[in-house]
Structure 1
Amino acid sequence: MPSRVPAVAFVGGGPRTAGVLERLAANRPSLFDGPLDIHVIEPHQPGSGRIWRYDQDPGLLLNSTAADVTMFTDASVACDGPTVDGPGLSTWAAGVLDGTIRDIPALEPHLLDQLRSLTPASFPSRQLQSKYLEWFFRRAVSSLGPDVTVTVHQDTATAVERLSDDGSHHLRLASGAEVIADVVVYALGHTDSLLDPESARLSDFAATHGGFHAPPSYTTDVDYSAVEAGQDVIVSGMGLAFVDLLVLLFQGRGGRFEERPDGDLDYVPSGAEPRVWAGSRRGVPYHSKISSELRGEPVARPRYFTAEAVQALLAEHQELDFRTQLWPLIAKDAGYAYYRELFTGYPSRVLGTWESFETHFDAAPWYSSAREELVAVSVPDPALRLDLEKLDHPLSGCAFADHDAVQRSVAAYIQNDLNLRTSSDHSETLALFTALLFVYMDLGRLVPQERLNARSQQAIHGWWHGFFSFVDSGPPSHRLREMLALHRAGLLKFLGPGMWVRADETLGRFVAGSFQSPVVVDASAYIEARLPSASVERSANPALLHLHDAGWGTEQRLLTSAGAHSTGKLLVSGNHEVLSPVGIPQKGLFAVGPWTSGWGAGAFARPNTNAAPFRENDALARRILSTVAAVPALQPN
């Protein structure tokens, strides 16, 4: 009688699962050469999943250029398994056009048009990205070899139960089907949460008073048809979800943009648009993506936030503090790259030589009068001096006298951001971008999460991720130009920083304003333009909720001076093992993604950056293979 074939089940079949499958194929020859059954449980198309599915508005774009997207673990990735290079999105698109890349279903005419016009600097549509991700998934499956069977269940996992006889797991699916697996990997990507009490209260208020409320959600999944033409809409949040919302409410309703002779845009309305009043904590949108090229001498890797520096801190301290010990090194790396580009690319804007500046900069801590004095003497124009706190909160301390002052200030900020980030004359912004990206990719590799104090884990998953996203993960520049066009057309108004919103029972409407201005508006519609906060306890995903309710997994809780604080994320080990409420690894259960307590890197990345998600995928794949290699070869009953 043949032995039982070990089985692995993936709950979720988006790009993260595809990446792990590719790593399983690369590592199998050295770790497990036996037959293997793999089950992928995904209600949408495998490879793209829910977030990157084809069924989205064709106007929605990536916030990365085609040249900056790959799913392949290239030679830059520091991992234990063999690297396997392959085409990023830009090269893939060219290969589809010239026929060198096959196994592509017939594409619709508008996607073929995109392929023909695509350049490495283009921002592709999410529909086009879905085709790349689905192709990568098929390629990863085929590379697993003939003795690996991959079964895709276009279904939803609702529960995972452990079988007592052999330690395997029983997965229940919404259709009534069942899957048996020795290893279960939760790879769900961004998941929704049930409404928190405040959002539920706001939704009830809107329903009671005949209004509209959209709680935090993935923007393209919300039905905005109840928002009427000409209606005032309050929007909180000005990040990427806000950018998508504008696409859906304006171009998605038939409006269009026309370029003027001076390069600005005019918005031509369809008549179906609402009027949006937008604000946020910062009061401004994310920074534009950068289109300039470096003029000076590039910085290859971080100079201060290094493995050696972190190891020295770990040897001296039992716990590390992000703000006092790690952030000053990160900030100094950002400043080093920024000023190196100024000195070597624009010598007329500085005084002295780079060699002299570098020597003094090396010796001065970032938060020191010596560093401030060095910059003041060396960079005569205060506007060119890097102030990271001002960068983070550009309108902090501003008191706006009236509505017009708010509009002028925010519009001027957006225009200045465009000038800095799209001009070939300010490539120091690109140097800053690259330095922060290097650190973001290295943080999880260099710093053991368990050696951070609770306050630091909160800071990294909260402030640091938000700051990096604000500076480095913004929209294409033309989206900011479109915002200005909508503003000039009177269809987008700004509320300013420090935004607040309340439900006014007397008016029966939502009221919003800013702590820094006297502007107050009321509207019957309110949209919270952001993804929901992580919450395992309130997860809208049945498998994740069952994992918690069954006691297999728990939310990460941090003990701070203010008491216990839950991050809402699923607690996992450094090896992505699901941990029980008392911290015991659950054998055969793994989880990866932004809703876990791991570093939460995205599913794809820039080529040649030693990308964190690819390192994680490789480590997880090797752990899975080691686990299935130890599965007893049971005889069937």
Structure 2
Amino acid sequence: MPAHVPSVVFIGGGPRTAGVLERIAANKAALFPGRLDIHVVEPYEPGSGRIWRYNQHPGLMLNSTAADVTMFTDASVACSGPAVDGPGLAEWAAGVTDGSITDVPEFPLALREQLRSLTRDAFPTRQLQSQYLEWFFRRAVANLGGTVTVHRTTATAVEPAAAAPTDRTYDAGTHLVRLANGRTLRADVVVTALGHTDSRPDAASAAWSGFAARHGGFHAAPSYTTDVDYSALAPGQDVIVAGMGLAFVDLLVLLMEGRGGRFEETPDGGLRYRASGREPRLWAGSRRGVPYHSKISAALRGEAPGELRFLTADAVGTLLERHSELDFGTQLWPLIAKEAGYEYYRELFTGSPDRVSTGWAEFSARFAELDWYSAACRELVASAVPEPGLHLDLEALDRPFAGATFGGLTDIQAAVARYIQRDLELRDSPDHPETLALFVALLKVYMELGRLVPADRLNPRSRHTVHGWWHGFFSFVDSGPPPRRLREMLALHRAGLLNFLGPGLQITADESTGEFVAGSAQAGFSVRAGALIEARLPATSVARSLNPVLAWLHTSGLGSEQQLLTADGIYSTGKLLVSDRHELLDGDGRAHGRLFGVGPGTSGWGAGAFARPNTNAAPFRENDALARNVLAVAAELASPGSGTASSASTCPTRQDSPAQPAAVGKA
């Protein structure tokens, strides 16, 4: 028998797959030095994929600075495999510019200018990020020794392979991956890494689409913003926008600058918008009624942040010993809040001592003894921090207009504009570095929580909270847009092209007039319009997925959607159910040891595909663990006497195209 050459098929070729490939290359010599036959199925450019592809509006930007983006598993990452350092986005751009990095394609002039002008503190365009991700993918492939084949198509099904009557080498764990181009890949291991995918609209969105169609209106269901056709929106048309997060920020770019308008700097440091006359007029609202907090330009002045002090392995271990299931709200959130408060006040006391009335040593010793939500803790803060506006109130941060009522249109416009201006004062100036300390604390917690708390030890209500409120709160505080985007919102508001609907947004459809009606009980007014845009990504739903292979996994039973039994009944997170080893779980909870899933659409704690350097980033830990699991399966399959045989040698896969550098902008 010939030596077995294990075959691995990645469905999805974006940055998450690139990260796992890099980890396979790093771990391979130690765990499986033999040959691997790897296939990547990706209809867009591998490395960047759909979300980060080059072919987007050139004005769309990352919400991270160049210094805060890396794909490399550096020495800070607590993983079993070897760390392999490399250039983050800022260093890569510098290397391309000075010629020390040469394995890149010829860039268009606009990108070359971006590379030359990029600083560590700048927010790069997504087009530039696409090239970094694609370069990283090519580098990972090169380190694997040419064993990767890219298939520029879509996977449609994953089926258990049936044994041919004469096939003595059949392995019951082998699967067939069907492709949209008619080809089939035989796989010993399948990894789904699909990123953000589209879903069929839920009942409410579907009803609004039907309403708009009946009355000649416009409705955009949740989607990746840049993939929606907004050409039906007329100049000056009133448009209701539900959602004020990152999708809303992208929408403003496409409907304003994307239609020929431009921003001009004003002498006072603000912005003025020069309209083209082609823009619609937007009315935006959401549950909070305000946009995401901007990124922070301040630098820490006080003591450097340390390790987590309250949400620690020991603290969580004690909870796990005492309780069979943990509750996020009553047991974990108080520790998270105290962690955030400690870092916030440490920076305030050690970086801005003129704003406090006592020393950090005295304050911190007393603070460590108290529960975050205790009256004693509130009294301690009140006595040591004279200015009430500097007291950290996480609930007010989460719902800034909770309990407020407004006197109508004019009142809510002024309130939201003041809020945005205050946010810029706190986060886009050097005067409030305590906001950065809070940002760093929440980021640490977000990255560590999944490592410290096994997902299967949370009660169902808490898993719901993690996927819903906790992720939303973290994104609202830590994953907002560049400060310039908030200044642009104010300029558009002053130009009369952006108006605010307020918090607690409610939308109905009036059949008698064919109009959508949007309003807020707190704001005290409503707006009618023939167009509605739901400015958010579609909710994850395996059952309603428009991705053919996710739909297949669900209907075939090979995969399942995570279901949680709560006090209110069965709740579905919509996510693809995986084990703590990222194995797909079927409807009965059984693990497929050779079918894996990773990324935001799976039931793990969740993390992005890239991260800030030197932060022990969760996605890099996950990538390493998954890569080692894949290599362990490969080693078992290839070992003498395993009873399996080579799928690659007995049933060769037709190769679409070997992985190689691709032209910029190829879609």
Class of the TM-score when normalised by the shorter of the 2 chains: over 0.9
Counterparts of 1:416 and 1:216 in 2: how far apart (Å)?
30
- For residue 634 of structure 1, what is the aligned residue in structure 2? 645
Aligned to 1:221: 227
2:302 maps to 1:296: yes
Cα deviations by residue, 1:254-281 (Å, 9 ceiling, x for unpaired): 1000011001110000111000000000
Q: Which amino acid aligns with 1:155?
A: T
Hey, what's the Cα distance between the residues in 1 that align with 2:339 and 2:6?
47
Name the counterpart of 1:278: 284
- SS of the aligned residue for 2:283 comes to strand
Equivalence map 1:537-548=2 (5 Å)? 537-548=543-554
Q: Supply the distance in 2 between the matched residues of 1:518 and 1:341 (Cα, whole angstroms).
A: 40
Which of 538, 546, 550 is the equivalent residue of 1:532? 538
- Measured in 2, the distance between the counterparts of 1:434 and 1:125 equals 23
What CA distance in whole angstroms lies between the structure 2 residues aligned with 1:261 and 1:516? Answer: 36
Which residue type is aligned with residue 38 of structure 1? I
Matched, 1:11 2:22: no
Q: d(CA) in 2 for partners of 1:164 and 1:576?
A: 25
Q: Helix, strand or coil: the match of 1:114?
A: helix
Answering whether residue 32 of structure 2 is matched by residue 21 of structure 1, we say: no
Amino acid at match of 2:20: V
Amino acid at match of 1:125: T
CA drift at 1:163: 1.1
The code of the aligned residue for 1:20 comes to V
What's the counterpart of residue 89 of structure 2?
89
The amino acid that maps onto 2:137 is F
Task: Specify the SS of the correspondent of 2:137.
Answer: helix
Partner of 1:468 in structure 2?
474
Partner in structure 2 of residue 507 of structure 1: 513
SS in 2 for 1:630: helix
Equivalent in 159, 162, 173 of residue 161 of structure 1: 159
1:122 aligns to 2:122 (yes or no): yes
Q: Please, which runs of 5 or more residues in structure 1 have no aligned partner?
A: none
Matched, 1:151 2:149: yes
Aligned residue number for residue 2 of structure 2: 2
Find the residue that maps to 1:566 and give its secondary structure.
Answer: strand
Task: Pick one of 213, 222, 226 that aligns with 1:207.
Answer: 213
Q: What secondary structure sits across from 1:419 in the alignment? A: helix
Shift of 1:629: 1.3
The Cα offsets for residues 27-62 of structure 1, whole Å up to 9 and x where unpaired, read as 111111111100000000000000000000000000
Q: Partner letter of residue 390 of structure 2?
A: L
| Equivalent-residue separation in structure 2 for 1:396 and 1:183 (angstroms) | 50
Give the Cα–Cα distance (whole angstroms) in 1 for the partners of residues 583 and 199 of structure 2: 22
Structure 2 residue aligned with 1:377: 383
TM-score normalised by length of structure 2? 0.94
The amino acid of 2:16's aligned partner reads R
Please name the residue that 2:166 is paired with: none
Q: CA deviation at 1:619?
A: 0.2
Shift of 1:197: 1.7
Q: Distance in 1 between matches of 2:307 and 2:567?
A: 36
CA distance in 1, matches of 2:574, 2:393: 32
Q: Distance in 1 between matches of 2:632 and 2:365?
A: 49
Query: In 2, distance between residues paired with 1:204 and 1:634?
Result: 53
One-letter amino acid of the counterpart of residue 568, structure 2: A
Q: Distance in 2 between matches of 1:563 and 1:510?
A: 32
- 1:120-170 deviations in Å (ceiling 9; x for gaps): 000000000000000000000001125xx1110000000010114312110
Partner of 2:70: 70
Asked whether 1:53 is paired with 2:53, we answer yes
- Map of 2:498 onto structure 1: 492
Bigger CA drift: 384-393 or 346-355?
A: 346-355
Q: Distance in 1 between matches of 2:208 and 2:627?
A: 43
Distance 1:559 1:213 in 2: 34
1:139 aligned partner: 139
Identity across the alignment (%): 67
Q: Distance in 2 between matches of 1:587 and 1:370?
A: 51
Letter in 2 for 1:86: G
CA deviation after TM superposition for structure 1 residue 300, in Å: 1.5
Asked whether 1:40 is paired with 2:51, we answer no
Q: For 1:568-587, what aligned pairs fall within 5 Å after superposition?
A: 568-587=574-593
Deviations 1:386-413 (A, max 9, x none): 0000000001111001110000000000
In 1: Cα distance, 2:645 partner to 2:77 partner: 37
Aligned residue identity for 1:55? N
Q: Structure 2: which 5+ runs fail to align?
A: 164-170, 651-667
Which stretch of the first structure deviates more once superposed, 550-559 or 407-416? 550-559
Which residues of 2 match residues 185-200 of structure 1 at below 5 A?
185-200=191-206
> Bigger shift: 419-428 or 610-619?
419-428
Are positions 1:517 and 2:528 aligned together?
Answer: no
Runs of 4+ with >3 A deviation? none
Give runs of aligned pairs for residues 536-615 of structure 1, distance below 5 A: 536-615=542-621
Q: Where do 1:86-485 residues align within 5 Å?
A: 86-145=86-145, 149-165=147-163, 166=171, 167-485=173-491
Instruction: Determine the C-alpha separation between the residues in 2 that align with 1:620 and 1:396.
Output: 42
* Aligned-pair CA distance for 1:429: 0.3
SS at match of 2:223: coil
Residue 298 (structure 1) shift: 2.1
Q: CA deviation at 1:364?
A: 0.6
Partner secondary structure for residue 277 of structure 1: strand
1:573–1:579 Cα contact (<8 Å) kept: yes
Q: What is the identity, as a one-letter code, of the residue corresponding to 1:112?
A: R
Give the Cα–Cα distance (whole angstroms) in 1 for the partners of residues 624 and 237 of structure 2.
Answer: 50
The residue type equivalent to 1:272 in the other structure is R
- SS of the counterpart of 2:331? helix
**1:4: Cα distance to partner?**
3.7
Cα distance in 2 between the residues matched to 1:296 and 1:518:
44
CA distance in 2, matches of 1:173, 1:299: 49
User: How far did residue 302 of structure 1 move?
Assistant: 1.4
Deviation of residue 3 (structure 1)?
2.7
Work out whether residues 298 and 431 of structure 1, in 8 Å CA contact, stay in contact via their aligned partners in 2.
Answer: no
Deviations 1:66-109 (A, max 9, x none): 00000000000000000000000000000001111111111011
Q: TM-score, normalised by structure 1?
A: 0.99
Deviation at 1:494, TM superposition (A): 0.1
**Deviation per residue, 1:412-454 (Å, 9 max, x gap):** 0000000000111111100100010110010001001111000
- The offset of 1:623, in angstroms, is 0.3
Query: Once the two structures are superposed, what CA deviation does each residue of 1:314-345 show, in whole Å capped at 9, x if it has no partner?
Result: 11111111110111011001101111111111
| Matches of 1:434 and 1:4, distance apart in 2 | 47
Confirm or deny: 8 A CA contact 1:298 1:337 kept in the other structure. no
In the alignment, the residues of structure 1 paired with residue 263 and residue 110 of structure 2 have an alpha-carbon distance, to the nearest angstrom, of 19
Looking at structure 1, the residues matched to 608 and 461 of structure 2 have their Cα atoms a distance apart, in angstroms, of: 23
Q: In terms of mean alpha carbon deviation, does 342-351 or 437-446 score higher?
A: 342-351
Letter in 2 for 1:59: G
Range with bigger deviation, 623-632 or 486-495:
623-632
Once residues 577 and 60 of structure 2 are traced to their aligned partners in structure 1, the CA distance between those partners, rounded to angstroms, is 33
Q: Is the 8 A contact 1:283 1:497 kept in 2?
A: yes
1:492-522 superposed Cα distances (whole Å, 9 cap, x missing partner): 0000000011111011011100120221101
Structure 2 counterpart of 1:152, one-letter code = V
How far is the alpha carbon of 1:541 from its aligned partner? Answer: 0.3
Higher mean Cα deviation, 58-67 or 594-603?
Answer: 594-603
SS, match of residue 25 in structure 1: helix
Aligned residue identity for 1:135:
W
